[in-house]
Chains A and B, each alone.
Chain A
Amino acid sequence: MIAESFVKSATKPSLESLNRLLALLAGVALLVVGLLFPLVTMLIKSLQDRAGDFIGLANFAHYFQTPALVNSIANSLRVALMTTGVVVGLAFLCAYGITRTCMPGKRLFRMLAILPILAPSLLPAISLVYLFGNQGFLRDLLAGQSVYGPIGIVMGMSFWIFPHALMLLTTALTNSDARLYEAAEALGTPKWRTFLTITLPGVRYGLISCLFVVFTLAITDFGVPKIIGGQFSVLATDVYRQVVGQQNFQMGAVVSVILLLPAVLSFIVDRWIQRRQVAQLSARAVPWQPSPSPLRDWIFTLLCYAVAGAIVLVIGTAVYASLVQFWPYNLSITFEHYTFQGMADGGWGAWFNSLKLAFSVALVGTLVIFFNAWLIEKSEGFRPLRQGLHFMAMLPMAVPGMVLGLAYIFFFNQAGNPFNWLYGTLTILVLNTLVHFYTVCHLTSVTALKQLDPEFEAVGASLKVPFWTTFCRVTLPVSLPAVLDISVYLFVNAMTTVSAVVFLYNSDTRLASVAVLHLDEAGYFASAAAMAVLIFLTSLVVKLLHTALTHVLLNNAQRWRHAC
């Protein structure tokens, strides 16, 4: 009888449990070393003097007595609030156009609107210099105001933060219940009142969440103010100047702690909102479908395409600037700037480093983050460890890139740190980038995993199949779309980020985004534009490949999805 041979293989339960525990501990260790220890070290540094002796809050007292430094707080708040107003206002209107009107060309608009995500935040700043700078061709539009300062910063930040806000608000506005609108209409409610009593309350959580996300991104951004800020200093550029310019690490730590506060605050508010948002929309809700209304539809078409036009203009300007011989005197087209003569070791090496980093982060990060999320979501036991891991996975969202980068210097560059050998390698850049963008990937993984049948693991266990087999044969393939989303998100961010890595590269591991910064500092503006465009194009190609791959996978390799 066949049966006997099936029963004989003895299982080793303890081994399986042990593996699970080890995997969990590895996940916890990763975030403890890659996030908690550096942050704690930085907090301690802010309380020490240069010699490393504890001096309490003296550094903070010194900070608040130095007007040049304290001014940055007000500056940062001002540009961040202005950016928030501009971005959320525009994004709300555009999201409304996409979800609640019959405007034509929605798909094209959405494609154009996410382009800024693929570019480093340095790109819009460079473009704005070409557009509105001392020799910009649209300089007159600013009516005598200088673009080097708050105006330029707000414009530059608005450009690259816009897609984030648009995605959040589109999601919020998509969730609508047609029955409420029909009820309002049946009761003869005027349109404006319907908007105030149904539409706005329906999106209030999404809107508040969006406000805080945008504010955090704006107040912690480094690339835009660095390029276009001129004498107008903000917190993020202060950290850089204190550390890189003046080698004053203690003051850098103090500014970092201050920069951490608004980010932590908005993180807490966001978590609080997420908790209340649960099941606001009942399962029986009927999605609302817009009906044509020519005037409204055309107004929103014009508005959306004006925004899309601005986006295309900014990117186009960067591309054009990178191809022009010598702006504005010799406008003949050349590829000379793509040889990056301003860089001693050649810019293509930096680009190649970025590519290596981005692929490594995409590969390692996706597997690590998804697997950790799986351990948290789908395993039994070790509850405190799983909760601790989840908490640490949420934390990176509250840590600005500049702060994380500086924290890494403090922690990994300490004499006697066993991880000291990592310092200056590509590995530390991979670790830093992975941790920096951990939270969004974690949340995406958790959402995907929650959609799976909760009994898959139980079935696997009852059939005596080890958990890693079920993970590889079922969980991973079924979650493939989410996994691909995570990997492309990590790739693009690794390609474009500058804030954290600016502290961590060395001459062998210089990255493309850092090269943009250096070329700009050295006055090679066209080469800086060229490098920024190169980063943008790389991200674009990978994004297109990702779209194509997802398409192919969903249609062919994953036939089971539509096997009906």
Chain B
Amino acid sequence: MHTTMTSLLAADTPTVMTPTTPHLTIEAVTKRFGSFTALDGISLTINEGEFVCFLGPSGCGKTTLLRTIAGLTQQTTGTLIQRDKDISTLPTQARDFGIVFQSYALFPNLTVFNNVAYGLRNRRVERSRIQARVGELLALVNLTGSENKYPAALSGGQQQRVALARALATEPGLLLLDEPLSALDARVRGHLRSQIKALQARLGVTTIMVTHDQEEALTMADRIVVMNHGVIEQVGTPAEIYHQPASAFVASFIGSMNFLEVTAQGDNQALLGTMPCACLSHTLKVGQAAQLAIRPEAVALSRQAGALNGEVIGIEFLGPFQRVTLRLTDVDQTLIADVPSRDSTDLNLYQGQVLGIHLPAEAARLYPAGSSQQ
């Protein structure tokens, strides 16, 4: 795959754009369906050549936002600007994008060739050039030789690649992917994920992908837009989203997270029960109920009792690490710690064991109480 792709694309002049040129600017877009607000004042800029993921639980508005960008849904208020052109009220046909749907939406009565050529035919391009272009695209998605097959004869992953080739055929400035991998089984999904990402990087086409799968978003995106209830919770690189979640929602939605009920103290401090804990600086008021968020892999366990101790009440074997559930002594709360398999031998884990717990301050964040619930 990679050799064909590289050789093909090497001939192509890559689009040279400074990475900070805005491609699409979304300004205060709101969409209401009756009394339901699907999008609530969304503002966002997507740069040229960027791969952006809209991530969030179902019903968070991510698909509505994508459809608004495509012109398939008309926003109630707000503007959309693509390459300095106001596209807010343009119909779908007049916007510059290609789209791939979760259902593939391949035309079942047309061959792979005709599906990919569908958008080219309309442009009065000579037949030989259409043929060359389709050949080029099919090579790009590694489907050379399938020209005369019908979609029903292809596997799900192959169909999705045809859909991708069809969307790219007209060289759109923007590629929209609406949960493109959700209908596929796990193995194909992982493979296609890296293929799409490599393809996007090489073509340099600005891409927006909607997904509810955090792993997909973390591995593919340059930037992730985490959405919930029609608003943007956080925009950032995968590392920022994972390590510096801006809200309790983001913290709980991405990866595993412990939330301990604490009381905020002065800067960098919180009280867990009666015991002071160090954490990253926060803006909460002293005495305010809060939750302290810490990832299971950041929790350090030791056989020596410390200031904070817990009793092992569950051990799950997960291959590379063991997930240990502990009940904190003194405060009635549970905590999960991921212990790498090679460390677990030192700990000699067993049920009922009491271990010392260390919560590193640089991995502990404070959020207002009750905000992690959606």
Contacts and interface: CB of A to CB of B under 8 A. Distances in A.
Chain A partners chain B: yes
B108 interface: yes
Given A465-B119, A477-B109, A564 B153 contact: yes
Given A6-B125, A461-B92, A463-B118, A560 B170 contact: no
Interface in B34-90: 70-72, 90
B282 interface: no
B321 interface: no
A463 B122 contact: yes
Contact of A560 (B101, B120, B124, B151): B151
Contacts of A63: none
B2 interface: no
Interface string B160-179: 00000011011110001000
Contact of B109 (A11, A459, A462, A478): A478
B171 A562 contact: no
Contacts, number: 117
Interface residues of B, number: 46
Contact of B99 (A2, A462, A558): A462
B92 A478 contact: no
Contacts of A456: 105, 107
Contacts of A16: 91, 93
Nearest to A381: B74
Contacts of A458: 70, 72, 92, 99, 101, 105
A9 interface: yes
Interface string A453-491: 101101111111110010001100110000000000000
A221 B82 CA distance: 62
A464 B167 CA distance: 11
A564 B150 CA distance: 9
A464 B70 CA distance: 12
A558 B105 contact: no
A514 B57 CA distance: 65
Contact of B171 (A7, A453, A478): A7
Nearest to A5: B125
B92 A6 contact: no
Nearest to A467: B93
Contacts of A9: 122-124
Given A2-B133, A5-B125, A7-B171, A564 B152 contact: yes
Interface in A394-408: none
Contact of B94 (A13, A455, A474): A13
A385 B89 CA distance: 21
Nearest to A453: B105
Contacts of A459: 99, 101, 105, 107, 118, 166
Contacts of A143: none
A469 B176 CA distance: 23
Contacts of A559: 150
Contacts of A108: none
A469 B122 contact: yes
Contact of B122 (A3, A464, A562): A464
A427 interface: no
A560 B97 contact: no
A6 to B, nearest CB: 5
B105 A560 contact: no
B110 A473 contact: yes
B110 A474 contact: yes
Interface string B1-39: 000000000001100000000000000000000000000
Interface in B88-132: 90-95, 97-99, 101, 103-105, 107-111, 118-125, 129, 132
B285 interface: no
Nearest to A464: B93
B84 to A, nearest CB: 16
Contact of A563 (B123, B152, B172): B152
A17 interface: yes
A463 B105 contact: no
A24 to B, nearest CB: 16
Contacts of A453: 101, 103-105
11 contacts: A9-B122, A13-B91, A16-B93, A456-B107, A458-B72, A458-B99, A463-B170, A466-B93, A558-B109, A562-B152, A564-B153
Interface of A: 1-3, 5-7, 9, 11, 13, 16-17, 380, 453, 455-456, 458-466, 469, 473-474, 477-478, 558-564
